[in-house]
A and B are shown apart, each in its own frame.
Chain A
């Protein structure tokens, strides 16, 4: 054997739990996120089983309310927000920019510990008796009426927020300061542009969530507070503050996915991403405009007509950069040499599902339609199309794409493709019927519903079973590959990015010689061979 890589450098537990190596921290995150995904997914599956019949026969109303709350909280804050940034991002960012590590490695480790602390507190809240406010914590229900573990769960989310902030901070500083010689901004792979935009949101939006949760805690603890209507406080102010964070947060949950898709689409069509600069700036435009649309969650609360008008308009405007990206990815395929390995299947699924989710977002941004559709399953379907169909799909795509780099092993292409297709089918069967339900008026967060909605609910529940099985598959074949898979070469996809120019898995210090970047990303020869960025 040659020199040890980052995995074989040391085997002690200490070398894992006190590591400052971004690659090992990425693995720590990966393990914890997988756990959280399965916890959140188990709650979802339980909900779907309950919803197969119109009556309450599996769980009581209180339990159901706790299920979707826990599902939302776990999936959003403990899975989707950290998913791509903290696993793939952590691993790939320094490699992509030719650096030895992130700017603040110890901070990076600390943010994992903070994340785990937040996660444990939240899990404790769930085990202690759960929380039933919905992931949105609306006041005055959450502050004055709910008798569940709101404070504990809010504390968990609050703590995890710091982990987000620190990660964002680390990425911003790293991308600014640690780029390899020759790596100008316009030579950065688009994954980094999107992570940069994501980090800006993480740093600027998360503190608003933090302060909002503090206000909630104060109100709950002292029985009086800012949002208390009894003293003339305004419950809607809470919603403004919450969505001021949470709308930008939905872009935290899609931008990294879009970044991954750029890498996949370009690599598997053997072509430069079409309109590089437009895509790059579109990421920043989404991050910036995303701060101006939060009121579109409040069209029926009685906010002023003018405000609704402005927020609706801005929601359409923020869709433009997303449209630019979708068109550019499609154009990238044109005259390429397309290969349909598993990551590419995920990328294609992403484009389709994200667009459906995005377009239905426009339905909701359309004032009059939202009056009917808000708080119905139409909204549920909208965001699952984007978050599961989009972001989770991108996460799986990226995971497969970089798997050989991360583990140094090749997985079974056959199983990987089968899983990708199964996920796609199961997903659509789960969530498409929910559009119909929503359009027909089935409210969300209902576990008892009028019987005429049953047919569509049964379809959806059936789909969820397929989806659950499909999500289990990678656990097996990826797990298998770690121990028995064939050894991966340094650059199995023949991609030009810097991360592929070091061995798989990379050595502890990432590169034997400091790479010097000489060309733009995504360059391929006429014969569709990659031209490495540093040669």
Chain B
């Protein structure tokens, strides 16, 4: 639907509409929290059952890439927050620029993730496709990598969706900023921050267990 000035009839005003949309995004995020929640539950069950296996598995991950990706995501979140902050008719170029920056960082994240997957493949650490880790902790390590791949793949999927949304918004903002877009930007930013936070949890669970002092 074109961005008509009139508010859809179920709303009384533009701000009514925008607040409603934001509430919608929050409820959606609640859903997402439970989506990852189920996965994390499985992680904790198995980490409890195979503590050594998980630590060993974790040591075989690429901490450098993981850390770099964390930094990348945090920066992109910052750019998005900035874009929300300065959004207005005058600054639309800057806004679009910031969003583009965030998009590039998001793409960089995906790229690095791809490299990481590739390295794991080379090391024969992909359960179900090529998993040759043998020796004492094979089971735990395999369960760890199953979690690793599922969780990061779902996260990457969220990233891709987020990048798509940001791209649409960047184009729209460049064209003509309006309060309507401001609300949309706000919601998408919420989503992007959420994806970021999920990553921080995943980072801690995937890369750190094998590297804490012990």
Contact = CB atoms under 8 A, between A and B. Distances in A.
Contacts of B8: 101, 105
Interface stretch (B41-49, B58-66, B82-90, B92-100): B41-49
A237 B23 CA distance: 33
A173 B24 contact: yes
Interface string B5-36: 00011110000100110011001101110111
B127 interface: yes
Interface in A162-206: 165, 168-170, 172-173, 176-178, 203-206
B10 A207 contact: no
Contact of B38 (A94, A99, A176, A212): A212
A210 interface: yes
Contacts, number: 108
A224 B127 contact: yes
A211 B157 CA distance: 13
A510 to B, nearest CB: 9
B10 A241 contact: no
Contacts of A168: 27
B42 A237 contact: yes
Given A173-B23, A206-B31, A241 B38 contact: yes
A226 B10 contact: no
Sorting the interface of chain B by its residue count into under 10, 10 to 19, 20 to 34 or 35 or more gives: 35 or more
Given A207-B35, A226-B147, A104 B24 contact: yes
B142 interface: yes
B201 to A, nearest CB: 15
B111 to A, nearest CB: 24
Nearest to A514: B12
Contact of A224 (B24, B46, B142, B147): B142
B203 interface: no
Given A211-B38, A215-B42, A225-B146, A203 B27 contact: yes
B139 interface: yes
A444 interface: no
Interface stretch (A53-61, A134-142, A228-236): A228-236
Contact of B142 (A176, A231, A241): A231
B50 interface: yes
A468 interface: no
Contacts of B128: 218, 221-225
B23 A226 contact: no
A287 to B, nearest CB: 13
Contacts of B139: 231-232
Interface string B127-141: 111010000001110
Contacts of A169: 24, 27-28, 31
Contacts of A173: 20, 23-24, 27
A439 to B, nearest CB: 35
A105 B150 CA distance: 33
A231 B34 CA distance: 27
Contacts of B171: none
Interface in B79-134: 127-129, 131
B47 to A, nearest CB: 13
A214 B42 CA distance: 13
Interface string A86-103: 000000001000011111
A356 interface: no
A378 to B, nearest CB: 30
A101 B30 contact: no
A100 B10 contact: yes
Identify the interface centre among A101, A208, A210, A226: most chain B CB within 10 Å of its CB: A226
A509 B20 contact: no
Contacts of A64: none
A177 B39 CA distance: 32
B55 to A, nearest CB: 16
B146 A226 contact: yes
A211 B142 CA distance: 19
Given A208-B35, A231-B143, A241 B9 contact: no
A466 B5 CA distance: 58
Contacts of B11: 178
Interface string B144-177: 0011001000100000000000000000000000
Given A218-B150, A225-B128, 6 more contacts: A103-B20, A211-B39, A225-B127, A231-B139, A231-B143, A234-B46
Interface of A: 94, 99-106, 165, 168-170, 172-173, 176-178, 203-208, 210-212, 214-215, 218, 221-226, 231-234, 237, 240-241, 244, 509
Q: Which 6 A-B pairs have the closest CB atoms?
A: A222-B128, A207-B35, A232-B139, A211-B38, A100-B10, A208-B38
